[in-house]
């Protein structure tokens, strides 16, 4: 029965670090099969556990992503100012906890200095070229952003242009963006 379900699709999230700031941008489209269910979803959020600002974008199941964001906030409260440690702790839990193992989502997180992708496979990845993308249109946005990294464009302009290119190519991505910018602290 589950194999007959068309499945949720639709997310493109990009993270761009340049010029002392990091921008995470996400589209607003959620699709069920070939039908657009919602065009204004907010998949990029600002977290402030204990006054420590972090921006996170998610791809995958919304409920699963919210569960992971709550766990990340708890980890950040336990290790204030240590984003890498909180991400590694979350990835370990995600990989080993029987409940969390079933969660289907990916996260891009930043505190303005560090930028990571967290996966359910236990990965905490730092991009080599200061740009990363996840979701159905993530590779399109990633390629577009990498092509612009050597230009004079600031991080936000690169993220917006890359998302526009992804929206033109990926049917599961729209141009309704949520953009959050954070500077090094």
Catalytic residues: 11
- Between CA 130 and CA 114 the distance in angstroms is 10
Tokens 């709550």 found at: 70
Residue among 8, 21, 55 nearest 178 (CA): 55
Which bin fits 135, alpha (ψ -120 to 50), beta or left (φ > 0)? Answer: left
Residue among 131, 135, 112 nearest 43 (CA): 135
User: Do the beta carbons of residue 118 and residue 107 sit within 8 Å?
Assistant: yes
Residue 122 bridge partners (DSSP): none
């Amino acid at each position: 029965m589950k194999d007959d379900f068309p499945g949720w699709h639709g997310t493109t999230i990009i993270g761009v670090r340049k010029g002392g700031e990091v921008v995470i941008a996400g589209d607003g489209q959620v699709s069920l099969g070939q039908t657009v269910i919602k065009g204004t979803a907010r998949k990029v959020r600002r977290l402030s556990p204990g006054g420590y600002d972090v921006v996170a974008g998610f791809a995958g199941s919304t409920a699963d992503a919210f569960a992971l964001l709550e766990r990340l906030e708890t980890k950040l409260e336990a290790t204030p100012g240590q984003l890498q440690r909180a991400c590694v702790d979350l990835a370990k839990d995600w990989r080993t906890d029987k409940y969390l193992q079933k969660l289907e989502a990916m996260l891009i997180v930043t505190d303005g200095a560090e930028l990571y992708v967290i996966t359910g496979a236990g990965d905490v990845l730092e991009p080599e070229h200061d740009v990363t993308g996840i979701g159905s249109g993530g590779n399109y946005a990633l390629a577009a952003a990498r092509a612009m990294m050597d230009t004079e464009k600031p991080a936000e302009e690169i993220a917006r242009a890359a998302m526009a290119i992804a929206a033109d190519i990926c049917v599961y991505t729209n141009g309704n963006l949520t953009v959050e910018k954070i500077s090094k602290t």
